Amino acid sequence: MADEQARASRILIVDDQEDNVEVLRAGLEARGYDCDSAQDGEEALRRVDAQPPDLILLDVNMPRMDGHEVARRIKSNPALPFIPIIMQTALDSIESKVEGLGAGADDYITKPINFAELEARVRSMLRIKKLQDQIAKANEQLTRMAVTDGLTGLYNRRHLEERLHEMFDHAARLHEPLGCVMFDLDHFKSVNDTHGHQAGDEVLKQAASLLKKVAREVDRVGRYGGEEFMVLLPGAILDAAVTFAERARQEVEGHIFTFEGGTLRRTMSCGVAAWPHPQIKHREQLVKAADDALYMAKEQGRNRAVRFDGAEFNAQD
């Protein structure tokens, strides 16, 4: 009788003998599994790339590409999830099993196939896959938590600094520009003082969404701390970075921030810097230049974008 595990599982049968495929398909589908098939290794790889199955029942002896090579290619592909592979062969020698397991097979079954044994092995492999998928999902969540700000969903400061390290080195190596913009929400403290921290959190989240809206896919948008944000702009010269900052400033200025119990408006100050620049020799100086420009924007009355051009600033440590 089909059970929940069987109904949710798709098995790819790889065998160049059509009769073998039909026997396996009939037996597995009778037990509730959804089956697909491929008659050679190349077709199997294409099907796996297009839609990874939950399990592969893989014949060893096939023309052009044998099961060992198929298993090696699947297991070495980092883009694929964990897919258990049960190899099937008429050879019952230890050497054959060792070779198959060494190629990446997770289990082995010999012909002629005993369906009671096959189903037990399939169930066992699918249990392992379920656990592996849960581990992969948990690791993905941990990775996401390690690089993102919990409130806004933007990159956190630690990840921004790591990306800055990589992006500055890349820009210097290829002699490509790199823009950096620091943003600060004007008079943000009064939002918390007047409307409460929940309202302040909503303003931060909406400001983050506005920054992501105007940023390119290649840009790195993050929360630098408190009400400060930083955006790294690969390939952007100073003028382009200023244009981006001004667009973001206008988005914030024109936005009506909503929160439970009210609405408000806020403006944003922006400090803009870009490498290469005679006073910017390394990545820390790029951030300091943008931060100095941000300070000047506040000094000049806020709600403006100020560029670091070196004339009125000192970016030295």
**Range(s) of the domain holding residue 62:** 4-145
Q: What is the pLDDT of residues 159-191, one digit of tens each?
A: 999 999 999 999 999 999 999 999 999 999 999
C-beta separation of 12 from 48 below 8 A: yes
Q: Is 227 a catalytic residue?
A: yes
Whether 269 is in a domain gets the answer yes
122 and 13 fall within a common domain = yes
Quick check: 19 pLDDT over 60? yes
For residue 270, which phi and psi values (nearest 5 degrees)?
A: -135, 135
For residue 233, which phi and psi values (nearest 5 degrees)?
A: -120, 90
Q: Which of 22, 42, 162, 227 is catalytic?
A: 227
Whether 314 is in a domain gets the answer no
Mean pLDDT over each residue of the chain, to the nearest integer: 92
The predicted pLDDT at position 91 comes to 73
Whether 55 is in a domain gets the answer yes
315: confidence class by pLDDT, cuts 50, 70, 90 = very low
The predicted pLDDT at position 144 comes to 84
316: confidence class by pLDDT, cuts 50, 70, 90 = very low
C-beta separation of 154 from 212 below 8 A: yes
Percent residues over pLDDT 90 in the chain: 83
Residue where a domain stops, chosen among 145, 174, 200: 145
Quick check: 1 pLDDT over 70? no
d(CA 178, CA 235): 5
Structure tokens at 61: 């002896």
Residue where a domain stops, chosen among 89, 124, 145: 145
Helices marked H in 196-256: 197-214, 238-253
87 and 162 fall within a common domain = no
Residue where a domain stops, chosen among 85, 118, 145: 145
293 and 197 fall within a common domain = yes
Q: What is the pLDDT of residues 202-257, one digit of tens each?
A: 999 999 999 999 999 999 999 999 999 999 999 999 999 999 999 999 999 999 99
Bridge partners of 223, per DSSP, are 229
Q: What is the pLDDT of residues 93-134, one digit of tens each?
A: 777 778 888 889 999 998 888 999 999 999 999 999 999 999
Percent residues over pLDDT 70 in the chain: 95
130 and 265 fall within a common domain = no
Burial class (CB in 10 A: 0-12, 13-18, 19+), 105: buried
Phi-psi region at 310: left, alpha or beta (left = phi > 0; alpha = psi -120 to 50):
left
Structure tokens at 192: 């918390």
Measured CA distances, 295 to 8, 73, 127, 232 (Å): 58, 55, 57, 18
Measured CA distances, 60 to 95, 115, 129 (Å): 13, 18, 22
Task: Give the CATH number, domain containing residue 242.
Answer: 3.30.70.270
Structure tokens at 246: 């001004």
Domain count, the chain: 2
Higher-confidence position of 222 and 147: 222
Helices marked H in the chain: 4-7, 18-30, 41-50, 67-75, 94-103, 115-147, 157-174, 188-195, 197-214, 238-253, 283-299
